[in-house]
Structure 1
Amino acid sequence: MRRNFRAQAPGRLWVADITYVRTLSGFAYTAFVVDVFSRKIVGVATRSTMRTDALPMEALEHALTTAGRIHGNQLIHHSDRGSQYVSLKYSTALAESGIRPSVGTVGDSYDNALAETVNGLYKAELIHAQGPWTSVGEVELATLRWVHWWNTKRLHEALDYATPREVEIEYYLTQPVSMG
């Protein structure tokens, strides 16, 4: 990606990452998939394990279900080189969905800066602000609420103080209607 985190339309570039949350009963892990165009979180999963099939695959499946218009082989999925994202299972799921994978360089968090930013804001705005957390289930429920708020209410400076939802709506309202 060469640190070019811009997209001309929704469903063209997604970034993904995993973060962790300490709870009184162990760790919770949250995976996000973010559409770069609008900064909308299109996929999320929170689990007690980082296993590929239990965490990032669920976030990817959520993204594929909820993202709406995906521009076929024009969609690029960017992540770090975490074992979950370079696994055969995850790579196969991307290929079967017509999504082109992109991975950052080893040990360079700037290579996935937008995803890292979302993780940091998630921790600042929700996890550290409302903890301590007692269970994975509690984190999961709060995360789903936070994602809804992020997508529909939170103003983003990078979006000229609009919400991800507003940016997507504005984009689709300005597109020509196809009668085909």
Structure 2
Amino acid sequence: MRSSVSCARRAYWLFHAVPTTRPRTVITAFTAIPICSRRGRSNVVQRAPSKCGSPTPTQGACAYLSLITDMWSRRIVGYHVHDTLQTHQVSQALKMALKTRQTRQALIHHSDRGIQYCSDAYQQLHRRHGITCSMTDGYDCYQNALAERVNGILKNEFLLHRPADIEQARRMVSESVKIYNQQRPHLSLKMKTPDEVQRASIARINQSENLRSQVST
């Protein structure tokens, strides 16, 4: 009986984590203004999930999921599953978001103070693309609430089975992100999907830019 209960708990990832000594991954002295909480526009990109990357248990080694979420539409615009928390791995999600970017509006990148986001390499990526850096004050998860929310949706509604390896984890995440963006409505979006809100937002931006160009000519 005890064995059956243990197996059931393991299947649903209900085991409590055992406290262990871990290397420091959050920098509190890095200077960045938490401006994202005061702005809610479509040109704001928020790092999701909070912390340094969300651990995704596999049947082998642990994998980590990094996400970039557009704050206005709630759309996941960049993601990457990786086996380490090194900066060059974590930054792949931001690079995907920049590659698929559809407007030229200025961007704000909001994150916690994970060491990867404070690193020179990650900050250089910001400067190269003219991105304004915004970070939480410290350990306050409420300042990164959208990140926590998206992370919870993926874990609790989509990623319900433990992948066999990192390749399967990548396929599962890719499929989950597609369904999340295209099919999952949000109450905060008046029951529209992230894709629907993004398309409408881009149409408004393009229309506004066209009007400005006509006036200037």
TM-score by structure 1 length? 0.89
Offset of residue 2 of structure 1: 5.8
Query: Which structure 1 residue ranges, 4+ long, deviate > 6 Å from structure 2?
Result: none
Partner residue of 2:185? Answer: 155
1:135 and 1:155 mapped to 2: Cα distance?
30
Whether 2:38 is the aligned partner of 1:8: answer: no
Partner residue of 1:22? Answer: 57
Partner residue of 1:97? Answer: 129
Partner residue of 1:86? Answer: 118
Offset of residue 169 of structure 1: 1.7
Question: 1:5/1:25 Cα in 2 relative to 1: closer, same or farther (>3 Å)?
Answer: farther
Counterpart of 1:121, as a letter, is I
Counterpart of 1:28, as a letter, is A
1:3 and 1:95 mapped to 2: Cα distance?
17
Task: Check whether the contact 1:14–1:78 (CA below 8 A) recurs between aligned residues.
Answer: yes
Task: Check whether the contact 1:38–1:164 (CA below 8 A) recurs between aligned residues.
Answer: yes
List alignment gaps of at least 5 residues for structure 1.
none
Task: Check whether the contact 1:14–1:33 (CA below 8 A) recurs between aligned residues.
Answer: yes
Task: Check whether the contact 1:6–1:37 (CA below 8 A) recurs between aligned residues.
Answer: no
Question: 1:160/1:76 Cα in 2 relative to 1: closer, same or farther (>3 Å)?
Answer: same
1:66-94 deviations in whole A, cap 9, x for unaligned?
121131xx311000000111111001101
Counterpart of 2:190, as a letter, is D
Correspondent of 2:88 among 48, 53, 62: 53
Question: 1:132/1:5 Cα in 2 relative to 1: closer, same or farther (>3 Å)?
Answer: farther
Identity of aligned residues (%): 31
2:37 and 2:194 mapped to 1: Cα distance?
19
2:142 and 2:61 mapped to 1: Cα distance?
29
2:129 and 2:202 mapped to 1: Cα distance?
23
List alignment gaps of at least 5 residues for structure 2.
1-33
Whether 2:203 is the aligned partner of 1:173: answer: yes
Pick the structure with greater CA Rg. Answer: 2
Please report the RMSD computed on the Cα atoms of aligned residues, expressed in angstroms.
1.7
1:152-173 deviations in whole A, cap 9, x for unaligned?
1111111000011111222233
Higher normalized strand content (fraction of residues): 1
1:70 and 1:5 mapped to 2: Cα distance?
21
